[in-house]
Amino acid sequence: MTGKQKQYVLKQRYKLEKIIGQGGIGYVYLAKDIHRNQDVAIKQCKHTSDKIVERFKREYKFLCSIKHPNIVMAYDFFEERSNYFLVMEHIPGITLKELLEKEHRLTLLQRLNIALQMCKAVSALNVNKIVHRDIKPDNIIVTEKGIIKLLDLGIAKTTNKELSAITKTGVIIGTPEYISPEQITDKERFNSDVFSIAVVIYQVILGLKESPFLTGSLAGTLNKVVDYELPPIKEKIQDKKYASIYEKISQVLQKALEKESQKRTKSAKELGVQLLQVYRDLQDYDSTHDDIDYEDMGYQATNEYKVTQDAQLAINEVVAKEQKTKRVLIVSQTVSFILIVTLLVFCYILKSKSNFLLSQTSKLEDTVSDLLGQKTLVNNEVFERVTQDNLLSNNRAEMHLIQANHLLDKDEERALKHFDAAIKKHSGYSDAYFGKGLLFQSREDYSLALDFYNKAIAINNTNAYYYSKRGEVHFRLNKYTQALQDYDRAIALDSTNATFFISRAGVYSALSLYEKVVADCNRASKLNKNDPLIYAKRGRAFYLLRSFAKAKSDLQRSLELGIDNKQQVKWLIRQCNKNIKK
């Protein structure tokens, strides 16, 4: 907010001063607690998804349960007008990512000091049976005094079954270049955070601006996390003076970076103990010490706030005043073309033409959404041919839709105007509502996407693909019951589409109903025997059902058919072989 804007006060206590950050669920504000005359940070949750709100509340409970000098403190939590707010201590400083990007000349002792504080913070979480799951330089603040603070427990989870169930999403959780291999191929373990800490420490010691696992693509990054062994630090730094120290650091990190969790350093505490010994050795070796001593580091906490349980406020007015920030479009140009072809095909269906392109487009859409990092290419000439041969019409509503299709990957705002114009010309034009749903889904604005899919279905409740896409949104919002209902309806309308069964299998997988995953993949394989994704999904389900021989057979078949994420499949095959030998 600028100085000319009205200053808003939340809960008659917190005066918003400016926006200091933005995340996937809302803004982070710097505010003044007028009761205490103290700066605080206020994190906003604008989402209406029950699952996201539940995670937001859980982050507050986690922060309240832990009082530690290296973990940000939570003070208050409240709701107003469908917005939730988490009040935390404000920490002046910069993120570790920013520190590394500035190429700050940190001494080796200072770098180890940061590593040790990270271990202390995560160890405190582990004592409370919490796994962070998203440790990365962006989530670590470094103060002027060199004290680090661990932030963002939004996707943290406890190790008990009750809270573990909350976070079963069926998708990868965390930042790909920092997560552990098991978070990609199976599920996190208690020492998954150890791997993430080790990756950050590796980056800090070498002064890298990015994770050593980061590549130019998501699939490449995930494959590298699973299969690539990082070179020992001692080989990356030619420093004869500290050669023995780097040798010891290499040994510690090698154990912490083990791909298999059972071989890895057991806990953040154990990793911290090992690094502390290296730190002491370095102090004995070098007379130039840090100003901050890891063991004697002081901390004086601010007064805790009395949390009122009935406090539920927020600021719809603030949200209305905020400048709309355009989200970064995550999908590639490939997906944009797929969306275009999809919309064009529906126009084509309204003209009672062939259904062939629909099935092909459906397959492309499902493949992109289901396979991490897999790219499906759509030829521009094919796109133009479909447009010219099948869709040219004098109907003005349809022409607006065609123009919207052409603008999807160039100018989304203009595309939206054409969708709206098509709806204005023909209020019962279900494809226009569906097209808006696709666009907002590509932006990951699932609430709006859901609204438009609902409108499309209200007009035309016999289109199987409408239900399929709405099922995807329900799945992304973790509304598994609604997702299953949509896929059931899509299959009832069109039981010949293998992708509908594959998509429903994805929901069953998220619910850990692996027998049903196998059943749906069986039905899909009868409709399409040459889709590698079917065998990959069924193979993973068999693996989790501990039917390792069947899992191996299906996974090998997926490789033979040309599955894109080969490294992940190969890793699962190796795990099958190990278990078969047992």
Residues involved in catalysis: 134
List b or e across 400-428, with b for residues whose CB sees 16 or more CB atoms inside 10 angstroms. Answer: bbbbbbbbbbeebeebbebbebbbebbee
CA angle 431, 503, 490 (to 5 degrees): 50
User: What value does the CA radius of gyration of the chain take, rounded to a whole number of Å?
Assistant: 26
Distance between CA atoms of residues 499 and 481, nearest Å: 19
Q: Within its chain, how far is the Cα of 224 from the centroid?
A: 18
Which residues have CB under 8 Å from 211's CB, separation 6+? 136, 177, 178, 199, 203
Distance between CA atoms of residues 191 and 413, nearest Å: 45
Distance between CA atoms of residues 72 and 216, nearest Å: 33
Specify the amino acid at residue 81.
R
Distance between CA atoms of residues 251 and 255, nearest Å: 7
Structure tokens at 462: 């016999």
List b or e across 8-41, with b for residues whose CB sees 16 or more CB atoms inside 10 angstroms. Answer: bebbebbbbbeeeeeeebbbbbbbbbeeeeeebb
Structure tokens at 10: 């939340």
Distance between CA atoms of residues 79 and 313, nearest Å: 4
CA angle 215, 220, 222 (to 5 degrees): 105
Question: How many helices and strands, by DSSP H and E, does the chain display?
Answer: 25, 11
User: Are 46 and 319 spatial neighbours (Cβ–Cβ below 8 Å)?
Assistant: yes
Distance between CA atoms of residues 44 and 88, nearest Å: 11
What letter would DSSP give residue 139?
G
Structure tokens at 270: 């154990």
| CA distance from start to end of the chain | 62
Q: Strand locations in 430-573, DSSP E?
A: none
